[in-house]
Amino acid sequence: MKNYFDVLKTVKLFNGIEEENIQPLLSCLCAKSIRFEKGQTVFSSGESIEQFGVVLSGQVQVVQDDYYGKRSILAKIDTGSLFGESFACAETKTLPVSVITTTESELLFIDCHRLAVPCAKACGFHSKLIQNMLSIVSMKNILLTQKIEYTSKHTTREKLLAYLSAEAKNGGSGRFCIPFNRQELADYLSVDRSAMSAELSRLRNDGLLNFHKNQFELL
Domain that holds residue 23: 2-145
Residue-wise pLDDT for 105-128, tens only, equals 999 999 988 887 766 665 667 778
CA of residue 103 relative to chain centroid, distance: 14
Give pLDDT, residue 19.
83
Same domain for 163 and 124? no
CB contact at 8 A, 15 and 132: yes
Same domain for 29 and 108? yes
**Amino acid type, 165:** S
Q: 15: domain CATH number?
A: 2.60.120.10
Residues in the chain: 219
- Give the largest Cα separation in the chain, rounded: 65
Same domain for 123 and 199? no
Boundary of a domain, candidates 112, 145, 178: 145
Same domain for 130 and 28? yes
Q: 213: domain CATH number?
A: 1.10.10.10
Residue-wise pLDDT for 10-25, tens only, equals 999 999 888 888 888 8
Same domain for 126 and 180? no
Domains identified in the chain, total number: 2
User: HSE on the CB side for 163, CA within 13 Å?
Assistant: 27
Q: What is the pLDDT of the chain when averaged over all its residues?
A: 89
Boundary of a domain, candidates 145, 165, 200: 145
Same domain for 173 and 123? no
